[in-house]
Amino acid sequence: QAAAIPADGAWDATLSLLREGYHFIPNRCRRLESEIFRTRLTLTEVICMRGPRAAELFYGNAALTRQGSMPQTVLRLLQDKGSVQQQDGDAHRHRKGLFVAILMAPGEVERLTGIFRSEWRAQLRHWQERDQIVLIDEVNRILTRAVCQWAGIPIGDSDERTTELAGMVEYAGHFRPGTVAALWRRRRIERRIRHMVEDVRSGHLSIDPDSPLHRVATFPDLDGQRLKAEVAAVEILNMLRPVVAIGRFIVFAALRLHQKPHWAETFRDGGDDRLEGFAEEVRRSSPFFPFVGARVKQDIEWQGHVLAKGQWLLLDLYGTTHDSQLFSRPQEFDPERQISWRDQGFDFIPQGAGAVATTHRCPGEMITVELLKESIRLICREMCSRVPPQDLSVKMNRVPALPESGFIMAEVKARS
Ligand code: HEM
C-alpha cells in the first residue's frame, strides 16, 4: 500500500511561487507538516521535497534524469542542451570527469584565484578616483575578465562579455523584460566560443594546450569522438557563466561583513583559519539556487511512495539549508557552524548533494569557496570604504536574489 503524498490543494500554484519565491516550498512543508507534497506549477503536476533523504534520491538514484526538468528559457540560459547536466549514467560520468579534472585541480584553482586578485587590485586603483561603486557591477567585471583569461578565451570587449555572462544568471529566474535579450546575447557568445573551438582544432588559434579552452576543445567524449563544436562551446560556458555568478555570493559576503563588523576586524588582522567557515556560511545562508528539478525515468518506490515514470520533481535546496532540524537557528548567520563542501553530504547542499564525480553535484564548489575567501581578504585587508545609506533589503521572491542596491561602497581607498 503506497503512502499518499499530501497535496497543497491549489488548482495551480504558479502565481504563489512567483509571490513567495524561496519560501514557496518551505511554507507548504510547514503548513502540511510534511517534507514532501504535491502541487501544480505551470499547469503541470509536480512533487516538491526537501531534506537529506530527498537529496539522496536526487543525487544518487539512476531512475532520475535532469532532462525535461526545467522550463526552456532556464535551460537555455543556464546549462543548455547537450551539456553535462543533461547527461545520464556512463555518458554523464565520463563528461563530468572533464569538469572535475579542470575545476577541482588545486593548481588550476590557485591560478584562477591569482588572476582574480590581480584584476581586483587593478580595479581598486580606478575605484579610488570615483565617489562610489556598486559592488555587484564591479565584481561581475572582475570575474569576467579573470575567468576568460584563466580559460584561454580572447576576451574582446570585456563590458560586452560581462553583460552576456552576468545576464544569463540575472534573467534565468523569471521570464521578464530582459530575458529575451539575455537569450539573444547568450546565442552571440555561444557562437563566438564555437568559432574559438573550431580555430583551436584547426590550429588557427594557438593557445596553451593546458588551458581549459584547449582541453574542452580536444576532449574525447565517451564515443571517442571530440564533442560537437556547439556542445564544446556550451561546456566552456558552463565554466565561464557560473564563475561570474560567484559575484552574488561576494556581495552577500560584503553585506555580512558590514552587518557583523567584528568579523571584518578579525579578518583584517589575520583569522585565516576562520575564513573558510565564514565563506561556507555565506553559501548556506544566501538565497541563490532555490531548487533543482528532475524527472522520473521509470516507476520507483521511494520512502513508501510510488513515483511514476514521467513525474516531475523539485528538490528544495534553500529550504534544506534553512531547515531547523538540520541547522540550529537557521536564520542566524553563524560562521562557527562546522559545514563544508568537502563532506559531500546531503544536508549542506547550496550547490547540490552527494559525490561530485558521479552525481550532478556542482563541480565548482572549491572555486566558489576559494574566490569567496580571496574576496573577503581583499575587502578586509586591502581597502577601506564607507557604506552609505541605501536599500540593502533582499526580496525573497526575486530569483536569484540580491541586496536591492547591489551594495554601494563610497570613498574607496587602498589600505596602505
Ligand atoms: C551544477 C549551483 C558555481 C559548474 C550545479 C548544481 C547547483 C549549482 C545547484 C546542481 C544542478 C543539478 O543538480 O541539476 C551553483 C551555485 C554556484 C555554482 C549556486 C555559485 C556561483 C559553479 C562554478 C562552476 C559550476 C564556479 C564552474 C566553474 C557547474 C556544472 C554543473 C553544476 C558544470 C553541472 C554538474 C552535473 O550535472 O554533473 N551548480 N554552482 N558551478 N555547476 Fe554549479
Cα-to-centroid distance, 363 and ligand 1 (Å): 6
Structure confidence at residue 51 (pLDDT)? 98
In a domain, 6, yes or no: no
**Bridge partner list, 65:** 295
Rounded to whole angstroms, how far apart are CA atoms 284 and 348?
7
Closest residue by CA, ligand 1 atom 21: 246
Total number of domains in the chain: 1
Structure confidence at residue 136 (pLDDT)? 98
In a domain, 57, yes or no: yes
Structure confidence at residue 177 (pLDDT)? 73
**Cell 539573444 appears where?**
184
Q: Give the helix, strand, coil percentages of the chain, each rounded to 5.
A: 50, 10, 35
In a domain, 19, yes or no: yes
AA identity, residue 214: H
Has this prediction a pTM greater than 0.90?
yes
In a domain, 7, yes or no: no
In a domain, 385, yes or no: yes
Structure confidence at residue 263 (pLDDT)? 98
The cell numbers describing 235, all together, are 561546456
Rounded to whole angstroms, how far apart are CA atoms 23 and 71?
20
Strand pairing class (300-302; 305-307) = antiparallel
245 Cβ below 6 A of ligand 1: yes
Distance of CA 383 to the CA centre of its chain: 27
Structure confidence at residue 371 (pLDDT)? 98
In a domain, 1, yes or no: no
Closest residue by CA, ligand 1 atom 29: 362
C-beta of residue 361 within 8 angstroms of C-beta of residue 385? no
For 163-183, the DSSP string reads HHHHHHHHTTSS--TTHHHHH
CATH code, domain carrying 97? 1.10.630.10
In which domain, by residue range, is 390 found? 14-414
In a domain, 236, yes or no: yes
Cα-to-centroid distance, 243 and ligand 1 (Å): 10
Structure confidence at residue 112 (pLDDT)? 98
321 Cβ below 6 A of ligand 1: no
292 Cβ below 6 A of ligand 1: yes
28 Cβ below 6 A of ligand 1: no
Beta strands in 270-407 (DSSP E): 291-296, 300-302, 305-307, 312-316, 383-386
86 Cβ below 6 A of ligand 1: no
Structure confidence at residue 232 (pLDDT)? 97
C-beta of residue 50 within 8 angstroms of C-beta of residue 316? yes
In a domain, 2, yes or no: no
In degrees, to the nearest 5, what angle opens at C-alpha 332 toward C-alphas 281 and 384?
Answer: 60
Half-sphere exposure of 333 (CA within 13 A, CB side): 18
Cα of first residue to Cα of last residue in the chain, in angstroms, is: 71
C-beta of residue 307 within 8 angstroms of C-beta of residue 313? yes
From 366, 370, 390, 367, select the one nearest 378 (Cα to Cα): 370
3-class DSSP string for 236-252: HHHHHHHHHHHHHHHHH
User: In the β-sheet with 44-49, what is the strand arrangement from edge to edge?
Assistant: 36-41, 44-49, 312-316, 291-296, 64-65
Contacts of 215 (CB under 8 A, 6+ apart): 98, 101, 102, 209
CA distances to 167, 234, 242 from 96, rounded to whole Å, are 25, 14, 16
**Atom number of ligand 1 nearest to Cα 349:** 9
Structure confidence at residue 182 (pLDDT)? 86
Rounded to whole angstroms, how far apart are CA atoms 53 and 354?
11
Structure confidence at residue 57 (pLDDT)? 98
From 395, 391, 383, 396, select the one nearest 407 (Cα to Cα): 391
- Cis amide linkage into residue 400, ω under 30° from 0: yes
Ligand 1 mutation pick, 22, 321, 351, max ligand atoms within 8 A of CB = 351
Q: What is the pLDDT along the chain (416 residues), one digit of tens a residue?
A: 778 999 999 999 999 999 999 999 999 999 999 999 999 998 999 999 999 999 999 999 999 999 998 887 787 777 778 899 999 999 999 999 999 999 999 999 999 999 999 999 999 999 999 999 999 999 999 999 999 999 999 999 999 999 999 998 887 877 677 888 888 899 999 999 999 999 999 999 999 999 999 999 999 999 999 999 999 999 999 999 999 999 999 999 999 999 999 999 999 999 999 999 999 999 999 999 999 999 999 999 999 999 999 999 999 999 999 999 999 999 999 999 999 999 999 999 999 999 999 999 999 999 999 999 999 999 999 999 999 999 999 999 999 999 999 999 999 999 97
Contacts of 3 (CB under 8 A, 6+ apart): 303, 304, 305
Surface-to-core class of residue 397, CB atoms within 10 Å of its CB (0-12 exposed, 13-18 middle, 19+ buried)? middle
Rounded to whole angstroms, how far apart are CA atoms 101 and 393?
39
Instruction: Kindly report the number of other CB atoms within 10 A of residue 175's CB atom.
Output: 13
Cα-to-centroid distance, 120 and ligand 1 (Å): 24
The cell numbers describing 21, all together, are 519565491
243 Cβ below 6 A of ligand 1: yes
Rounded to whole angstroms, how far apart are CA atoms 47 and 39?
6
167 Cβ below 6 A of ligand 1: no
Closest residue by CA, ligand 1 atom 23: 364
Q: Is 0.95 exceeded by the ipTM?
A: yes
368 Cβ below 6 A of ligand 1: yes
